[in-house]
């Protein structure tokens, strides 16, 4: 992109510039560009595509898995294990180092595989090729790849085309575009050629067409003024690159936990080293080994791997429920969400205009509550006379037939192509089995000045069918069809029709009037043909809410989650849709009103407003920021380009997979593959269940590792004072060797903890309020539990150790008993934690298997030649009896502490 082009695009208001000046600015004319000129411009401006943020390479994706304080601590411990060999009298411990590296690698592999799969799935959602564009090149029409379009190209647009770039309209023949992906406005925009005021909002610039929008009706010609990143879409994509990448609360907490554990371990190491060096005769190698042991004992090696595994498991479950997670920590963040800010079009609604009501023969027919009588070609509505009078049904059939005849929709393989309003009319007629019989003779086109369209068809006699604005159609009528008979259209009847039109409008329906008459001369003047029509009735259309949205929002409300509707549509439509889906429209605000509020005023108001209408991307970001400043965890849903900035800054950005734009998907944390709002509810439930599982194994792993630290810390200090002979050597001057602690953490801790991550979710998850935003995984109750269990483990474990050492004089046997005691206590501790959630052991067969495998493997270490590798001895029956006594003491003390905690913190886990 040249500097000149950049300066031009930053200063030129194309919509307010006369056409001749537009051509001068882009150095082009209506004949189009030559191939050579186009090639030169392509080289100068670059391809007409939207550049995504720098993509992470596979290698970089792998390296990011190891950016964790806990991983850093493990790496230091591994280096120390090897570094012992450089101290006189010491030997490098390759086994310990290999074990630590194995654990680090396993954790990284978990995260890498999940993130890589998510990246591949997202790429599969993208279109493999850009659409084609029809341009004038070398004086003739050519179809080229849209990426080859350059400023100055003349593009030709027809119904169904994707607009390839931002362009100024030169010719418009009933040209209408769908700009909802860009502006959020669901109603097609009619295009013209006249310049508009420079201050005109984007959604009202009728003389411009924009990249990532589509033509729904008519045809036109336009000159390209912006391509690629200089388009309106490109500007929003640029904002994404500049937006701050927010960490989830769980990421912040795990990072802080790692730093806290690291600080604690380093402090304990320094303390123990100082005590041993100053007050005992322990050799330097032994002191270093104690430091390594404390580092290994203090780091919950399995925590990163188990967290990653559990989040990946949840992400896999969400994929099965049509929710694709792009970042693993977002799975947990969903569990703390308390506000969902959702767009309307394509998210809450179907993004499909639908005829929902008719007004015919003085009665309202609600098609959402009606049945189709195919035999008679009519609709039987609940508000029509109970006898289903055939004449009334004939009048309704005539109304639907008029909508089908006055229509330019194309049908191919069951799919409709055309303007959404006309598709709605055609679909209503098709569902009622109405045949728009007769060959078309002539069409008198719709225009913004005429506000009506008339089509003449050959039936038993030539017949003219008209549709248009109700008041315009009424002005062309002098009679109306009532119960199959034609009656004079009195002033009173006219007023009733206008009143009904207003009533439909108050319900956010788009209303059209319909009329017909027999024509003697189809070639007559339009004014003559369109005069003296017979009024047939009204059809009211709406982009209806998805059928499941109401229940999903009600479920979220029960779970303490508030839903906020923020749409680009007008206030009437927004409030009507809000009422239909169960939101409170009272106090609804428009984007203009949001702009008038200061940040403080918006924060004070935001918690009382559920509906925002006519909002721009900037408004959505301000709404999001106000909610987050008030302490809310916010989901932002969207499918359009205009949603991308807010999606990026939301705690959880959710894009639509089917209707969503690439820019929205790029900005999101999660993609709904079925575009179903109810999937968000399911994802939140999954997130809450995952959080409970995370809290369980964090409690389990941190408490056991803290207990191991206390065992080593207190044991070395007490041992140096009480048994100086045994604790003044080298590697034997340890309560537990690093290899034994690694084995405990790998087998007795990590394997069952992984199975714990697959625990079934408790019932009633969506009947609870969200947890407070400032409450982490380790809340006060969990912290008290961690500390008390660690102390109990240290007290009972050291009791077993020192009793055995005093009784037998064998440090090796005392280590073997303590090693086994910790394994048994930690495996039983899992079910103690789960019991708080009313979960029986058999409810998780994976956990039963993991505990069984851990016990069997531990027995293999004690009673097979593996004991020589781990430097332990087989236990006798007496040893097992002593372990049982210590375990009973631990269990009794644990029950006492648990009941005390329940009295203080309540029964809820």
Helices (H), 12-146: 19-26, 35-45, 58-64, 69-83, 94-125
Strand partners, 241: none
Token code pair at residue 114? 């999940």
Report CA-CA distances (Å) from 729 to 273, 296, 372, 793: 15, 20, 93, 26
Token code pair at residue 193? 């050629």
Residues contacting 864, CB < 8 A, separation 6+: none
Q: Are 91 and 288 in contact (CB under 8 A)?
A: no
- Establish whether 435 is a catalytic residue: no
**Can you tell me the distance from the alpha carbon of 683 to that of 615, in angstroms, rounded to the nearest whole number?**
27
- Angle between helical axes of 69-83 and 94-125 (0-180°, round to 10): 150
- Of 674, 689, 634, the C-alpha closest to 314 is 689
Residue 637's H or E segment, with its range, is: strand 634-638
Q: How many CB atoms lie within 10 A of CB 312?
A: 21
Q: Give the pairing type, strands 323-325 and 670-672.
A: antiparallel
Q: Give the pairing type, strands 652-656 and 670-672.
A: parallel
**73 φ/ψ sector (left φ>0, alpha ψ -120 to 50, else beta):** alpha
Residues contacting 492, CB < 8 A, separation 6+: none
Within 13 Å of residue 679, how many CA atoms lie on the same side as its CB?
Answer: 23
- Would you report the helix, strand and coil content of the chain in percent, each value rounded to 5? 55, 15, 30
Active-site residue among 68, 166, 343, 675? 343
Token code pair at residue 252? 């912040």
For tokens 């483990």, the residue is: 793
Q: Are 96 and 104 in contact (CB under 8 A)?
A: no
Residues contacting 503, CB < 8 A, separation 6+: none
Q: Are 750 and 826 in contact (CB under 8 A)?
A: no
Residues contacting 489, CB < 8 A, separation 6+: 474, 477, 478, 479, 480, 535
**Can you tell me the distance from the alpha carbon of 594 to that of 613, in angstroms, rounded to the nearest whole number?**
10
Token code pair at residue 521? 């001369």
Residues contacting 270, CB < 8 A, separation 6+: none
**508 φ/ψ sector (left φ>0, alpha ψ -120 to 50, else beta):** left
For tokens 């630290």, the residue is: 709
Q: Are 228 and 46 in contact (CB under 8 A)?
A: yes
By annotation, the residues acting in catalysis are: 343
């Amino acid at each position: 992109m040249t500097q000149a082009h950049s300066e031009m695009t930053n200063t030129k208001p194309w919509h307010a510039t006369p056409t001749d000046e537009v051509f001068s600015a882009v150095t082009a004319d209506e004949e189009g560009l030559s191939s050579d000129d186009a090639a030169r411009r392509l080289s100068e401006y670059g391809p007409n595509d939207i550049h995504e943020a720098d993509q992470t390479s596979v290698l970089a994706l792998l390296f990011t898995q190891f950016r964790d304080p806990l991983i850093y601590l493990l790496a230091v411990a591994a280096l120390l294990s090897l570094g012992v060999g450089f101290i006189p009298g010491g030997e490098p411990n390759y086994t310990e180092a290999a074990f630590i590296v194995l654990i680090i690698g396993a954790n990284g592999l978990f995260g890498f595989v999940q993130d890589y799969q998510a990246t591949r799935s997202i790429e599969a959602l993208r279109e493999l090729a850009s659409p084609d564009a029809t341009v004038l090149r070398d004086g003739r029409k050519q179809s080229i790849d849209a990426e080859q379009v350059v400023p100055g190209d003349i593009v030709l647009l027809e119904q169904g085309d994707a607009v390839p770039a931002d362009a100024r309209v030169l010719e418009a023949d009933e040209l209408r575009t769908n700009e909802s992906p860009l502006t959020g406005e669901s109603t097609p925009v009619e295009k013209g050629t006249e310049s508009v005021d420079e201050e005109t909002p984007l959604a009202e610039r009728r003389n411009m067409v924009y990249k990532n929008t589509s033509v729904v009706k008519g045809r036109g010609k336009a000159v390209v003024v912006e391509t690629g990143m200089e388009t309106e879409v490109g500007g929003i994509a640029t904002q994404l690159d500049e937006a701050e990448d927010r960490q989830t609360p769980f990421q912040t907490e795990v990072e802080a936990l790692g730093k806290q554990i690291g600080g604690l371990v380093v402090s304990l190491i320094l303390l123990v080293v100082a005590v041993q060096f100053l007050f005992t005769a322990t050799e330097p190698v032994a002191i270093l080994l104690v430091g390594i042991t404390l580092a290994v004992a203090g780091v919950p090696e399995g925590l990163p791997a188990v967290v990653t595994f559990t989040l990946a498991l949840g992400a896999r479950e969400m994929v099965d429920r049509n929710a694709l997670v792009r970042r693993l920590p977002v799975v947990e963040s969903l569990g703390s969400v308390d506000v969902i800010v959702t767009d309307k079009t394509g998210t809450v609604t179907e993004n499909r205009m639908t005829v929902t009501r008719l007004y015919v023969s003085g009665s309202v027919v609600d098609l959402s509550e009606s049945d189709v009588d195919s035999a008679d070609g009519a609709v039987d509505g609940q508000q029509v006379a109970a006898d289903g009078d055939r004449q009334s049904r004939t009048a309704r059939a005539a109304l639907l037939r008029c909508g089908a005849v006055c229509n330019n929709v194309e049908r191919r393989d069951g799919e409709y192509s055309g303007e959404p309003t006309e598709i709605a009319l055609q679909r209503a007629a098709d569902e009622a089995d109405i045949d728009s019989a007769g060959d078309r003779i002539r069409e008198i086109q719709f225009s913004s000045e005429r506000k009506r369209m008339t089509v003449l068809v050959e039936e038993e006699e030539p017949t003219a069918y008209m549709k248009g604005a109700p008041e315009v159609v009424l002005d062309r009528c002098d009679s109306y069809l009532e119960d199959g008979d034609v009656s004079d259209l009195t002033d009173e009847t006219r007023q009733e029709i206008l009143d009904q039109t207003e009533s439909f409008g108050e319900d956010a329906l788009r209303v059209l009037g319909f009329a017909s008459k027999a024509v003697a001369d189809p070639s007559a003047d339009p004014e003559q043909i369109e005069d003296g029509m017979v009024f047939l009735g009204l059809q009211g259309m709406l982009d209806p809410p998805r059928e499941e949205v109401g229940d999903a929002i009600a479920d979220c409300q029960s779970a303490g989650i508030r839903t906020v509707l923020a749409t680009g549509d007008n206030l009437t439509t927004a409030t009507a849709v809000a009422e239909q889906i169960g939101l409170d429209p009272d106090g609804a605000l428009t984007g203009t009103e949001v702009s008038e509020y200061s940040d403080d005023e918006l924060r004070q108001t935001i918690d009382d407003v559920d509906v925002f209408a006519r909002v721009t991307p900037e408004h959505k970001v301000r709404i999001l920021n106000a909610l987050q400043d008030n302490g809310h965890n916010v989901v932002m849903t969207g499918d359009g380009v205009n949603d991308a900035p807010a999606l990026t800054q939301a705690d959880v950005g959710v894009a639509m997979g089917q209707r969503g734009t690439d820019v929205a998907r790029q900005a999101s944390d999660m993609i709904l593959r079925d575009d179903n709002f109810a999937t968000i509810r399911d994802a939140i439930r999954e997130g809450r269940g995952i959080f409970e599982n995370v809290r369980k194994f964090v409690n389990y792993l941190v408490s056991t590792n803290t207990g191991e630290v206390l065992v080593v810390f207190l044991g070395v200090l007490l041992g140096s004072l009480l048994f100086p002979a045994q604790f003044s050597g080298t590697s034997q001057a340890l309560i537990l060797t690093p290899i034994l602690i690694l084995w405990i953490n790998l087998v007795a801790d990590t394997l069952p903890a992984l199975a714990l991550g697959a625990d079934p979710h408790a019932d009633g998850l969506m009947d609870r309020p969200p947890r407070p935003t400032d409450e982490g995984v380790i809340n006060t109750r969990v912290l008290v539990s961690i500390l008390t269990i660690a102390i109990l483990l240290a007290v009972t474990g050291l009791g077993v150790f020192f009793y055995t050492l005093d009784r037998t004089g064998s440090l090796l046997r005392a280590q073997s008993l303590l090693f086994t005691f910790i394994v048994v206590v930690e495996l039983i501790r899992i079910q103690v934690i789960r019991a708080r959630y009313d979960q029986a052991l058999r409810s998780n067969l994976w956990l039963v298997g993991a505990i069984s495998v851990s016990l069997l493997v531990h027995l293999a270490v004690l009673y097979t030649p593996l004991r020589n590798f781990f430097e332990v001895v087989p236990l006798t029956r007496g040893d097992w009896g002593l372990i049982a006594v210590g375990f009973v003491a631990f269990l009794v003390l644990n029950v006492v502490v648990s009941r005390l905690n329940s009295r203080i913190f309540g029964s809820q886990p």
